[in-house]
Amino acid sequence: MVDGKRRLRSVFEPGTTPWAMRRAQWLGIGLSEEDLDKPKIAVVNSSSGLASCFSHLDGIAERAKAAIRAAGAVPFEVRTAAPSDAITSAGRAGQYILPSRDLIANDIEVAVEGALLDGMVCLASCDKTTPGQLMAAGRLNIPTVVVACGYQPSGVYRGEPVDFEDVFLYAGHVATGKMTVEELAEMSACAITGPGVCAGLGTANSMHMAAEALGMTLPGSTPVLANSEAMWATVEAAGRRIVELVEEDLRPRDVLRPGAFANAVAVILAVSGSVNTMKHLQAIAVEAGCDVDVYGLFEQMAPQVPLLVGVKPNGDRTTDELEAAGGALGVLCQLAPLLSLDERGVSGRTLREVVAAAAPVGEEVIRPLDRPLARHPAITLVRGSLAPDGGIVKRTVADDAIHSFAGPARVYHAREEALAAIRSGEVQPGDVLVLSGLGPIGSPGMGMTSAVVFALDGAGLGEQVILVTDGQLSGLVNKGLVVGEVSPEGAVGGPLGLVEDGDRIEVDVDARRIDLLVDDEVLARRRAARPASAPVAGCSYLAQYAREVRPLIEGATLGGAAG
């Protein structure tokens, strides 16, 4: 403490070399003598001109910096990688998407820890920015507030509401003739009418809500329409609050505790959120040094948490209806009897205090526990001889996909192979389409497989063929019965890598089972005949990622647990 105030790590001993270098640089860019002794706050801006997800963030960064200055601190804007699932997935069949999350965390570490700044305001947007920023917060453990920068306004196509999820889905119908290129072009031209993340309850909005449930955003701030008055109010409040947090020394590891992760899991289950939140929440726990099994929480809590919200693509409601009804805070209010209410968030208040002060909830959009939309689990983890460490099945409010299926395997090792097989009619009703080798190491980076789901739907096979894969799926839309992110992945000895055409596979979602009906002796011979896997060679980021990434059930973090 100095003069009654906490000593800032950004303030160096006068006369030292670091002090002199910092003084020269910062005075040279216009800071004052007084500024040098103030808290230094990073405004983490994952901005890019590549996609609408990020196109408004520079303006938000300016408003955040102004609020921080007004609160008596000095803001420094820090840029990171800005991956958009819609754009960055074009290269290498989507393999850059998941690794970009860890790149964001590393970008933040280099800039913020290298400069020894005192706190962070993180501007969260598209799918991987929120977990990447939260991973960095847990790793660096300096005061942090996450600000959700909002979902995009959608449009109208031939008199009907349309959004990005619709474009994503119907793109799979063109190849099978159910939609023309001209119709898809017309739809895509009017689906997005402003900046922000995808409007539905995909990974971006799911992770924004999870961040609030964790206590890492200001209460009542998610989901939010991009550039709305509510979003701007939160930006300014976060700029003020981060300065107080630095003085209070309330850090992410004080917030990211086991009870907070259980609260986040409950919210995701209650809204049928994105399956991608599972690995992201586990990665955040690893980086925060929190000993919690997120996958285990989903298994344990799924039967207890009913579906309270049905937002597109999982139900008929829209995200703006969810926001108006109370958003994540409204969901937390309804879930209160099931939650850890003594967890303290970045607001400084406990969840119990936050819920007690909340406005009334719109109960037709966010149902109470005694009047849910449905009681089946929103996300089911299936295990068995084909997935000893689990595979993930997403279930909508209607839960109208088939629950059990048995059939012969038809095996492919690349997304384009599977798509070509669907187009040619090689994939037949009753088949189990196996897409193996697309896990974090096998891709490397984890290939996107949702295009295969949409192609099956477009071919009229959505209820007649199931997909089993160790690849990742979009958090936006899934159709039919799909078992994704099978673990262990096929490329590193998982049973999925031993499946051959004609092998019988059996899935029973209600029993939470997925099994490969092949004798152990046969599998042992196949395993013995497999060539030993060699480390991925090369200097590319994906090659480095493949050599360092941990299994999915450990969050697919790089290099194991944080210190």
Query: What is the set of active-site residues?
Result: 474
Other Cβ atoms less than 10 A from the Cβ of 223: the count is 27
* DSSP letter string, 66-134: HHHHHTT-EEEEEE-----HHHHTTGGGGTTHHHHHHHHHHHHIIIIIHHT-SEEEEEE-STTHHHHHH
Sign of the alpha-carbon dihedral angle for 468, 474, 475, 479: negative
521: CB partners within 8 A, 6+ apart: none
Rg of the Cα atoms in the chain: 24
For the chain, the distance separating the N- and C-terminal CA atoms, rounded to the nearest angstrom, is 26
Residues 389, 299 contacting (CB under 8 angstroms):
no
Give the 3-state secondary structure percentages of the chain, helix then strand then coil, rounded to 5: 40, 15, 45
Q: How would you classify the pairing of strands 482-487 and 387-394?
A: antiparallel
428: number of CA atoms within 13 Å, CB side? Answer: 6
Residues 62, 269 contacting (CB under 8 angstroms):
no
Helix and strand numbers, DSSP H then E, in the chain? 21, 14
